[in-house]
Structures are given as C-alpha cells and as structure tokens.
Amino acid sequence: MSRHDVARAAASPQVHGVFALELSDDAMPARAALGQAAAGELARLLGRDLGVLVPAARELDLVLAGAHFDPAELLRPGWPIHRRLDELRQRAPQSGQGARIIAFGADAEGVVPLPFQADPQLAGGRLRVLPYLFAGEAAVVEAVSAQMEADLLDLGMAQADTALHAQEAFGVRIEHARYLTLHDLLAMTALQYRNQGLDPLWDVLETALLAADSEAWLDAPPEPLLRYVDGEVRIAMLSAEDWRRRCAGTEQDQARLAHGFAMYEARQRQFGAVLQAHGVPLVFAHVPSGQDPVAALG
C-alpha cells in the first residue's frame, strides 16, 4: 500500500499520528494516563515540536490523548482510537478564533475514560504510543500530511524537554521519544513482524487495515489457511489427517507427523492472537474431513 492509500483510509481532512515512547528494558509506566494538567502540557509541547518541523501544522487543531497504548491498539480497522479523538474534538468548545490544542487525560479521580483505556493484556512492550491528530481546512491538512509523511520518520525526534515531561509524567524511563505518522507506525510494525517470522500474515492484516472492502488469502502450505473477506478473517481448522494431506507431503513417521500438526496448531493460535490484538474479527471455520479447505472458506 502506498502512502496515499493510507491517507485515503484515514478520515478526511485529518492527519493521524502517534507520539512513540521507546521505554528502557523492563520499564513499566507508573501511570496509564496523565491527569488533565499534565496532558495539556504534553499537548502544548507536542504542538510546539511539530510546529517547528511542519510550520503549517500550527494552522490546524491538534488533539492528543494523554494515554499510552500498544501499537496494535491503534492499528485497527477504521482507526477507532483516532476516530474517537476526532469525535471528542468536534464536541470541544471553540473559544475565540484560530487553531486549538486539545488534550484528554484521566479525570480528577484518576479514572481513564473508556475509549483511552489500554488493554492490559497488551502491556509490557518496550514501545508505547500516544495518538494525536491534526484537523482543519482540507488544503492545509493535505500539505501537512505530505510533509509529515516525507520528514517525520527521519526528523521527528521530540525535543528534550518534551521527552523529559513525558518521562516524569508517566513515571517511566524513556530511551527515545519521537513523532510518527500512522503510516510510519504501520511500516515499523511490518518490519517487526517480518523479524518475528510473521511476514506471511502481513498481506492479510494489511488488507484488513487499509482495504477493508477487499479480499486477501494466505494459501501457502505449510502455513495455516486464512481468508480475509467481509471484514473478518476465516481460519481453516483442519483435522490431523487433512493437515497431513495438505502440508506433510510424503512424511510417514508418526512422531514427526504429531509434532508437525502440533506446530501447525500453535501457528494458528499465533496468527489468531496477532489478528485479535489488531481488532480484526476472527471466524474459526472447521473444515469437514476430506473437503477441500480452500473451497470450505470460499
């Protein structure tokens, strides 16, 4: 998918991005979300930093969620966290003229609003991301989007006082703090998954994220058989005998066949967990014994 495909996938006219925090080894943030004052200060610093990198961004509303997420929680079909940010932006009062800087954090009792409650099952990764968006006049958004796509990945390091504020406010040691577009985050995630041996799954996941009305298959034995269609991924659940016919070739050793089928099932679970982390609906389709699994998913 091209950068322009990503821009079309996002709600228009907006620029979707993330403030990415690379944590120190074994570091865990003390707070899931910032109080309103700390979130507002972080939004001000973020607006200053990005205004230096992309001056036209100062003409747009900037909206930040002062809560950190696993990248998979932001890379979901329809970009639900960013969509919710924009809904809240539209409800925020307009005071005077010009662009606004709007931040959302925990309430006075420290309770994080439901849209910005990160999934605790996805906690623990070294990269945590805070969603932001710019919104406003379409021509300005287009120009800002183009410059951010071109420059942020190389030039988007946060200034030192911004990183320090985030470190102190979240109560965690931060190695690097930088600004990314959603496309940058998507590309980084694709590279990470490739390094983790998940490259075969990527076309299916990318289609679900960027071309939800399209269709994609993973049909490459010995990998699990998957089909993305109608907004969901269907995973073919095979019997041991059907798996042997599809994936095991001429292997006859029973111990090796049992091990191979167990590994196949583990691979299915791994793919399912990744897709669920990205909010992609799953259907586990049990294929009747002897039936062509591709036809069963058709």
Token reading at 286:
């049990």
Q: Return the SS3 of 250.
A: coil
For residue 5, what pLDDT is reported? 44
Q: How far apart are the first and last CA of the chain?
A: 25
12 and 44 in contact (C-beta within 8 Å)?
A: no
For residue 206, what pLDDT is reported? 97
Token reading at 122:
């996805």
Place of tokens 């292997």: 251
Token reading at 34:
């910032």
18 and 186 in contact (C-beta within 8 Å)?
A: no
Stated pTM of the model: 0.91
Q: How many CB atoms lie within 10 A of CB 50?
A: 25
The per-residue pLDDT string of the chain (298 residues; one tens digit each, 9 = 90 and over) reads 444 444 444 445 899 999 999 999 878 999 999 999 999 999 999 999 999 999 999 999 999 999 999 999 999 999 999 999 999 998 888 877 789 999 998 887 777 877 788 999 998 899 999 999 999 999 999 999 999 999 999 999 999 999 999 999 999 999 999 999 999 999 999 999 999 999 999 999 999 999 999 999 999 999 999 999 999 999 999 999 999 999 998 989 999 999 999 999 999 999 999 999 999 999 999 999 889 899 988 8
